[in-house]
A and B are shown apart, each in its own frame.
Chain A
Amino acid sequence: MGKITYKRLKGSQNMRQRLLLATLKSTPVLIEDIHADDTLPGLRPHEISLLRLFEKLTDDCLIEINETGTKLKYKPGIIVGGSHLVHDCGVSRAIGYFLEPLILLGLFARKTLVIILKGITNDSKDPSVDTFRSTTFPLLKHFGVPSEGLKLEIKSRGVSPHGGGEVHLAIPTVQHLTATMWTDEGMVKRIRGEAFTTRVSVQLGNEMIYAARGIFNRLLPDVYIASDYRKRSEAGNSSGYGISLVAETTSGCCISADTTVSYPRGDEEEDIEGEEKKELIPAADVGEKLASVLLEEIEKGGVVDSTHQGLLFLLCALCVNDVSKVRVGKLSPYGIETLREIRDFLDVQFVIKPDPSTGTVILKCWGSGMKNLSRKTT
């Protein structure tokens, strides 16, 4: 009873983490000034889609949006999960955008989550679905998530602008996450990857692979990049190509990089990167560049790449009441934002110590002791 006190926030930044943490901690939030100064004010389509997804997964959550869409009231419900769910992610952001919060939600749901996500599978902005399979799932293993239940099947690939991809995701539930001491980054022992092409020639994929191997071969012989040629119904609605690479180390860390090249969606987004605006980058260049990106990620050090920092911190903060210690490379902006959100929502602070000799950062935290409360007891 009584009135609900909302936690007040501003702006659409970190919407995902905010909604996620609010749901996990069950704190109602009120977000104001969402894209208030833009020419098209209000929530973006992908944000709305994200809210829909949250609504779908939770029981009795309350979402209120004002007419202009600049103000959002969110009262979380209980995370239910369940199977036979379908969600259309739209084409404004890739599925990766939705997957990141979805994984954590799924872990703390009442029932095992089995969901079909439709939309853009590969994108240059968000981690691709291949990366989730190759890097994110092994990452979860360190926190005591059983690897059997984790599944991500790519039924069809879709790239921007029209999407059309479909993935099947299954996430098991956990009682709680276990703390981890994960500071040994190890040495890269092998590099794996997947190059895909949709509605374009197979040759492009091979070019990418060839170029990427050219870079790696100087450092490591164990490089294997598979090619995934999709056509017809499996290839979605647009043409494009991309590559995702993952470097595995001797201590079981996965460092990944991925990118996709396709025609940008020509609508309201004006601030798309320059190179994509005009011509598409040649496949060979893409392979080479992405290989370089991966090497740079490796150079930065840490047990995860910069993309996964946020997720890593979230997982650490959601652990049982034990000390978790992880090592990451340079803190990414997203990681920093996540750290702040964690502080605000979960009241968990990290001790951040730089390790100047390697240029890495060591983070330590005392887990918040989150338990899966929505699970039913018998």
Chain B
Amino acid sequence: MAMDSGADGQSHKAHRSRHSGASAKKKTKAKNKDQNSDQKQQNPKAFAFRSNAKAKRLQSRAVEKEQRRLHLPVIDRSYGELPPFVVVVQGPPQVGKSLLIKTLVKHYTKHNLPDVRGPITIVSGKQRRLQFVECPNDINGMIDAAKFADLALLLIDGSYGFEMETFEFLNILQVHGFPKVMGVLTHLDKFKDVKKLKKTKQRLKHRFWTEIYDGAKLFYLSGLIHGKYPKREVHNLARFISVMKFPPLSWRTSHPYILVDRFEDVTPPERVQMNSKCDRNVTLYGYLRGCNLKKGTKIHIAGVGDFSLAGVTGLSDPCPLPSAAKKKGLRDKEKLFYAPMSGLGDLLYDKDAVYININDHFVQYSKVDEMGGTTNKGNKRDVGEALVKSLQTIKNPIDEKLEKSKISLFSQNPNSSLEAEDHNRDSDEAPKLIRDIEPLKQYQSNGEEDESEFDLDSSESSDQDEGVPEGAMLKSEGRNFEEGNADASERLGRVKEQVEFHNGRKRRKAIFGDGVDHSNLKSNEGDEDDDDDDDDNDEGENDRSNEDNESCSGSEFSDGDEEDLKSEDDGMGNISKWRASLVERASKKQNINLMQLVYGKSASTSNTSANEVKDDSENEESDEDEFFKPKGQRAKNSIEGLDGGNINTEDCSKSTKFSELKNWKEEEVYESIRDRFVTGDWSKGALRNQMLEAKTEEDDMDGDFEDLETGEKHESHQKDDSSNGGIQKEDDDAIEERRLKKLALRAKFDAHYDGSESPEEETDVQNGGKFHRSQANDSGYYDKLKEEIELQKQINIAELEDLDETTRLEIEGFRTGMYLRLEVHDVPFEMIEYFDPCHPILVGGIGLGEENVGYMQTRLKRHRWHKKVLKTRDPIIVSIGWRRYQTTPVYAIEDQNGRHRMLKYTPEHMHCLAMFWGPLAPPKTGVLAVQNLSNNQAAFRIIATAYVLEFNHAARIVKKIKLVGYPCKIFKKTALIKDMFTSDLEVARFEGAAIRTVSGIRGQVKKAAKEEIGNQPKKKGGQAREGIARCTFEDRILMSDIVFLRAWTQVEVPQFYNPLTTSLQPRQKTWLGMKTVAELRREHNLSIPVNKDSFYKPIERKARKFNTLVIPKALQADLPFESKPKNIPHRKRPLLEDRRAVVMEPHERKVHALVQHLQLIRNDKMKKRKLKEEQKRKEVEAQRAKDEQVLRKRRREERQERYREQDKLKKKIRRHVEA
């Protein structure tokens, strides 16, 4: 159009298209083609299937494809905010790993990262956070990294090609549940030749595909610009990462784990000073991943060992997702990043201190100088200074506080004053106890700082419920620097959003504990009585520390009975997240009553954890107390039968009492339950049933305490209840159910919709459109399954949302995605000493029964790239679950009859069974085996992969054994066999065993031989020889026979395992464990022992001499003559007949000569005749052959002639016909 308008204005020379020549021809051709195709497309039948079979085939293929795409839907139990995805950047050294992370971080946050150390968390999108980790180059680091990676970026030096590390890492990933993998080719600027570059790319891509799957993404980074990867390419890579979907992996969804991004030593400095090699207490920070973490869970720190948690606290998210405002993209302010172990960001992590970096213009000096105090830890601050600061930090003026104090009085826990008293008394009574706890408390307080800090902020900001106690504030103030601007947090009630960040900077305190404040805290507890919230908090803390102390030192927990009375939330109060409106609190109080009655003491875990440790009878008593503790309440609720507190009460599930029965014959009595029967009023019955659904929702509402707005609500509900409401309720219920279903459907749709972004899913959608009917039929079950799962999820969410935070925590543990602080006690000091931020710490939760050790049976296959077969009982290092340990497997194979036969070596290309001893892992867990951890070996380090079949407490691998014996005395069919057994006891063990001689005569072991039968040595004065067995055979054996006993004997699997403690030594040092026999031999220069008997020698067999058969005379006499042995005695001299000479008479001699002559003549004649005949026959034959040949020739000619004639005739006829 524009052209036209232009043409109007000014006349240009029009384009003249060619009418002749090559290009014109081409054009016309193309045009024709186009037209043709157009025509074709216009034909609607053109693409219908012409062939029935083809249609069928295509459809079945489509269905097959569809089915192949389906996976068993996995329930995703992470309900809240997801933790950041871990992107592990892996590759051989010098391939550009750190540079990639740096450029990616720069891309996301516009910050330059000087050093990549430890995990780096960044907010990459509105819904997504990423955590970048560089994979260390040693095999241990690779194994650990594979266990927490959500996405692995495999960096490959394009100019060099693949290196072993890449394949090793791929293998490790595969074994530990294959996370997403993307290859990245670097160093492509080394290619000068474009063609070569293209070819190399192609080649590498295809090799990569064979390893993963066809079409796996391989990304190319073409080169460096100013020492960084090109911006555009990094941008593209980031986009690839941002659309990546991460499927749940079964091991990880069933185990909680944490990738530690901050790590501190919180051992009291005095203890370290006293003994620098004392066991340390450490805190580990990180996002909880996998599944929910319960408080009692044990953890495994990779490379260190198993520990029980001394404390877990949920902290506010240091790198939260942006608030969900409707806007496109991220604001700069929200592009946070958090990398405490790296140099940049808020914290500089050093071995013994943490330095905090603050931009000057963000500093508000009045508040920040505390930080100075914190950084030079241990320095006591001036009292005056502290006072001034306390004044500065107070947000609420005193008059406000006074106002609120009223409210706090109102909301006060009825027994809180009692508690406070108790506490007071406790602290007075048992100063010694507290002394004990003190050091512990200090670092406990360390962690507390975090939470109390936020607590403080929020309590100030939310400023409706209660005044902040001055004491508490002082305390927290004493150790915390104030949060810069907490005002932003006021908007949002939730903790996650409470902390505001400045350009990705979040300031955090960092002290290793200073004793001053502690007394402060204690005194606090003594006199505070107006605020139950913080009181609870402190108590909880105190309580917890008590427990902690108990669990580690075994000191007694004397104040248990008072603790019992405390309300449920005490133990949980320390969770900073805890924030409840008054209504919630009220309702909670109500329903805690029953829980309190049942569970007694609040701190649930204390019981068990204390129980587990050494015996402290005190504790048990407190336990026992609990049974008959809250007397009043129990009586009120009429739960009797627990009476007596007898620990030996009879174990009876039935508790019917026949004595106090109502008289059900009376009308009013039986009419009272009429509605419980179908004969009664159905609507009332339904009401009863539905009540609970509505009730659960409403329970929150009708507490003994009501707020203004909620009170209104509550009343309206009450009206519902009171006004007949049966149908109403029913409706409510139905609505509720419908709502849930709808939610489920929506979520499913969402999932589907999200998925459609990926091409695979898209085709699926199209398919769905095409084969509408068929799909509905096929994936009905699949859809149902998915829907069920979604429904369950919605139910879970609904039910859990119902609870207040504290109870919820108690019930389901810490949710995934929370930022947690784990405290672990008694960690070897080497972990601190050799801590290297470049080696990320993996903390994995130990599942059910996984701390036990036993035999595991695995199905193992030697890796095809490992050059040797593996030898039984040679130590290998395996990685199972979170653990790595060295163990000695015994290889076996299952025989046809189910017997597990030991193998000395693994088969070359086959699976075999491997049994080894170690901490148990659930069946189906992948196992990876390596033998050598050193970096310098060139070959492939992974020796085998396996997976756990079952675990067992008893090994049942057998091997063949062959006992050899020789007859020492033979009776008829019985023989005494010596040398087979060494003692009579052994013989007794083998009674009845089957034996066999070399010649094939079968027999059986009977018993140890008696002396008098064949055991002569004693008679001769020597000792009776033991181990001679009396055996019977099916036939008489010979003295020269050898007797075998073939049996199976149990093979012992060595009970050995050696956890890899690679974190407890310098990283560059290779971990040394048990050596293989071969290694030992090499070291000590020992030759391989050879058994001479095993050598092959030429077999020399003497010809066997058999004696002649002798038939007894009696038998011979009975035999018929025919069968009688006719043995003519052997003669030395020939018989007389042979020896005599014959002398003839003269006449006789003449006759004899004549006969001889005649015979001679005749013979000669016959010979001549024969010759003649022969000649004649030959002549005849030659003649005949000649004739034959001639005849054949003639016949052929005749035939030819005839055919020619015929042909001519035919032609003639044809010609005639044609004519």
* CB-contact partner of A78 in B663, B691, B951, B1056, under 8 A: B951
- Which residues from A are CB-within-8-Å of B1056? 1
Chain B nearest CB: distance from A331 CB in Å?
A: 6
- Which residues from B are CB-within-8-Å of A333? 639-642, 655
In whole angstroms, what is the CA distance A275 to B659 when docked? 9
Q: In the complex, are the beta carbons of B655 and A374 less than 8 A apart?
A: no
- Which residues from B are CB-within-8-Å of A189? 677-678
In this assembly, does B953 line the interface, its C-beta being within 8 Å of a C-beta of chain A? yes
- Which residues from B are CB-within-8-Å of A349? 595, 599, 604, 810-811
* CB-contact partner of B642 in A35, A336, A371, under 8 A: A336
Chain A nearest CB: distance from B348 CB in Å?
A: 39
- Which residues from B are CB-within-8-Å of A259? 656, 658
In this assembly, does B685 line the interface, its C-beta being within 8 Å of a C-beta of chain A? yes
Given A1-B1055, A13-B647, A293-B658, A183-B953 contact (CB < 8 Å): no
Stretch from B210-218, B289-297, B777-785 forming part of the interface with A: B289-297
Closest residue of chain A to B1059, judged by CB?
A1
- Which residues from A are CB-within-8-Å of B1019? none
In this assembly, does A8 line the interface, its C-beta being within 8 Å of a C-beta of chain B? yes
Q: In the complex, are the beta carbons of A13 and B922 less than 8 A apart?
A: no
In this assembly, does A149 line the interface, its C-beta being within 8 Å of a C-beta of chain B? no
Q: In the complex, are the beta carbons of B658 and A275 less than 8 A apart?
A: yes
- Which residues from A are CB-within-8-Å of B639? 330-331, 333, 336
Chain A nearest CB: distance from B904 CB in Å?
A: 25
Q: In the complex, are the beta carbons of A35 and B648 less than 8 A apart?
A: yes
Q: In the complex, are the beta carbons of A322 and B792 less than 8 A apart?
A: yes
Q: Which of A213-255 contact B (CB under 8 A)?
A: 215, 218-221, 250-251
In this assembly, does A49 line the interface, its C-beta being within 8 Å of a C-beta of chain B? no
Interface size in chain B (residues, C-beta < 8 A): 99
Q: In the complex, are the beta carbons of A215 and B950 less than 8 A apart?
A: no
* CB-contact partner of A291 in B620, B664, B795, B849, under 8 A: B664
In this assembly, does B69 line the interface, its C-beta being within 8 Å of a C-beta of chain A? no
In this assembly, does A90 line the interface, its C-beta being within 8 Å of a C-beta of chain B? no
In whole angstroms, what is the CA distance A378 to B642 when docked? 47
* CB-contact partner of B954 in A59, A125, A344, A354, under 8 A: A59
In whole angstroms, what is the CA distance A376 to B639 when docked? 44
Give the one of B654, B810, B950 with max A CB within 10 A: B654
Given A188-B678, A349-B599, A257-B652 contact (CB < 8 Å): no
In this assembly, does A25 line the interface, its C-beta being within 8 Å of a C-beta of chain B? yes
Q: In the complex, are the beta carbons of B641 and A11 less than 8 A apart?
A: no
Given A35-B648, A327-B692, A377-B594 contact (CB < 8 Å): no
- Which residues from A are CB-within-8-Å of B795? 181, 322-323
Q: In the complex, are the beta carbons of A12 and B923 less than 8 A apart?
A: no
- Which residues from A are CB-within-8-Å of B608? 7, 344-345, 347
In whole angstroms, what is the CA distance A275 to B661 when docked? 15
- Which residues from B are CB-within-8-Å of A364? 799, 803, 811
In whole angstroms, what is the CA distance A109 to B640 when docked? 36
Q: Mark B715-738, 1 if CB is under 8 A from A, else 0.
A: 000000000000000000000000
Stretch from B84-92, B609-617, B995-1003 forming part of the interface with A: B609-617
Given A9-B611, A219-B673, A306-B655, A77-B953 contact (CB < 8 Å): yes
Given A1-B1055, A339-B598, A219-B651 contact (CB < 8 Å): no
Q: In the complex, are the beta carbons of B612 and A10 less than 8 A apart?
A: no
Q: In the complex, are the beta carbons of B658 and A377 less than 8 A apart?
A: no
Closest residue of chain A to B853, judged by CB?
A1
Chain B nearest CB: distance from A40 CB in Å?
A: 12
Q: Mark A59-96, 1 if CB is under 8 A from B, else 0.
A: 11000000000000000011000000000000000001
Stretch from A114-122, A202-210, A295-303 forming part of the interface with B: A295-303
Chain A nearest CB: distance from B885 CB in Å?
A: 10
- Which residues from B are CB-within-8-Å of A185? 688-689
Q: Which of A1-45 contact B (CB under 8 A)?
A: 1-2, 5-17, 25-26, 33-38
Q: Which of A320-345 contact B (CB under 8 A)?
A: 321-323, 325, 327, 330-334, 336-337, 339-340, 343-345
* CB-contact partner of A321 in B77, B648, B685, B1057, under 8 A: B77
Q: Mark A176-187, 1 if CB is under 8 A from B, else 0.
A: 000101011111
Q: In the complex, are the beta carbons of B924 and A377 less than 8 A apart?
A: yes
- Which residues from B are CB-within-8-Å of A377? 923-924, 947-950
Closest residue of chain A to B921, judged by CB?
A373
Q: In the complex, are the beta carbons of A347 and B295 less than 8 A apart?
A: yes
Q: In the complex, are the beta carbons of B653 and A188 less than 8 A apart?
A: no
Chain B nearest CB: distance from A270 CB in Å?
A: 13
Q: In the complex, are the beta carbons of A219 and B674 less than 8 A apart?
A: yes
- Which residues from B are CB-within-8-Å of A370? 848
Stretch from A157-165, A166-174, A355-363 forming part of the interface with B: A355-363
In this assembly, does B607 line the interface, its C-beta being within 8 Å of a C-beta of chain A? yes
In whole angstroms, what is the CA distance A179 to B791 when docked? 12
Closest residue of chain B to A8, judged by CB?
B611
Q: In the complex, are the beta carbons of A215 and B849 less than 8 A apart?
A: no
Q: Which of A250-286 contact B (CB under 8 A)?
A: 250-251, 257, 259, 273, 275
Q: In the complex, are the beta carbons of B658 and A11 less than 8 A apart?
A: no
Interface size in chain A (residues, C-beta < 8 A): 112
Given A340-B598, A351-B811, A374-B679 contact (CB < 8 Å): no
Chain B nearest CB: distance from A10 CB in Å?
A: 5
Given A38-B648, A295-B673, A322-B796, A257-B656 contact (CB < 8 Å): yes
Give the one of B292, B641, B652 with max A CB within 10 A: B652
Given A296-B661, A299-B673, A10-B679 contact (CB < 8 Å): no
- Which residues from A are CB-within-8-Å of B297? 347
In this assembly, does B436 line the interface, its C-beta being within 8 Å of a C-beta of chain A? no
* CB-contact partner of B848 in A12, A187, A369, under 8 A: A369
Q: In the complex, are the beta carbons of B792 and A126 less than 8 A apart?
A: no
In whole angstroms, what is the CA distance A376 to B796 when docked? 31
Closest residue of chain B to A178, judged by CB?
B792
* CB-contact partner of A10 in B624, B663, B953, under 8 A: B624
- Which residues from B are CB-within-8-Å of A251? 689
Closest residue of chain A to B924, judged by CB?
A377
In whole angstroms, what is the CA distance A33 to B615 when docked? 13
In this assembly, does B646 line the interface, its C-beta being within 8 Å of a C-beta of chain A? yes
Q: In the complex, are the beta carbons of A373 and B849 less than 8 A apart?
A: yes
In whole angstroms, what is the CA distance A306 to B240 when docked? 58
Given A7-B611, A8-B615, A13-B648, A307-B654 contact (CB < 8 Å): yes
- Which residues from A are CB-within-8-Å of B949? 376-378
- Which residues from B are CB-within-8-Å of A355? 691-692, 695
Give the one of A15, A25, A127, A377 with max B CB within 10 A: A377
Chain B nearest CB: distance from A134 CB in Å?
A: 15
In this assembly, does B428 line the interface, its C-beta being within 8 Å of a C-beta of chain A? no
In whole angstroms, what is the CA distance A332 to B642 when docked? 9
Q: In the complex, are the beta carbons of B648 and A12 less than 8 A apart?
A: yes
Closest residue of chain A to B667, judged by CB?
A218
Given A11-B648, A289-B658, A373-B923 contact (CB < 8 Å): yes
Q: In the complex, are the beta carbons of B695 and A357 less than 8 A apart?
A: yes
Q: Which of B2-23 contact A (CB under 8 A)?
A: none
Chain A nearest CB: distance from B218 CB in Å?
A: 34
In this assembly, does A130 line the interface, its C-beta being within 8 Å of a C-beta of chain B? no
- Which residues from B are CB-within-8-Å of A8? 611-612, 615, 620
Given A373-B922, A376-B950, A350-B692 contact (CB < 8 Å): no
- Which residues from A are CB-within-8-Å of B953? 59-60, 77-78
9 closest A-B pairs (Cβ-Cβ)? A11-B647, A60-B953, A333-B641, A26-B849, A352-B594, A376-B950, A366-B812, A323-B799, A347-B296
11 pairs across A/B with beta carbons < 8 Å?
A11-B648, A12-B648, A60-B954, A219-B673, A301-B688, A332-B641, A333-B642, A358-B688, A362-B696, A364-B799, A373-B849
Residues of A within 8 A of B (CB): 1-2, 5-17, 25-26, 33-38, 59-60, 77-78, 96-97, 100, 110, 125-127, 179, 181, 183-189, 215, 218-221, 250-251, 257, 259, 273, 275, 289, 291-293, 295-296, 298-299, 301, 306-311, 321-323, 325, 327, 330-334, 336-337, 339-340, 343-345, 347, 349-355, 357-358, 360-362, 364-366, 368-371, 373-378
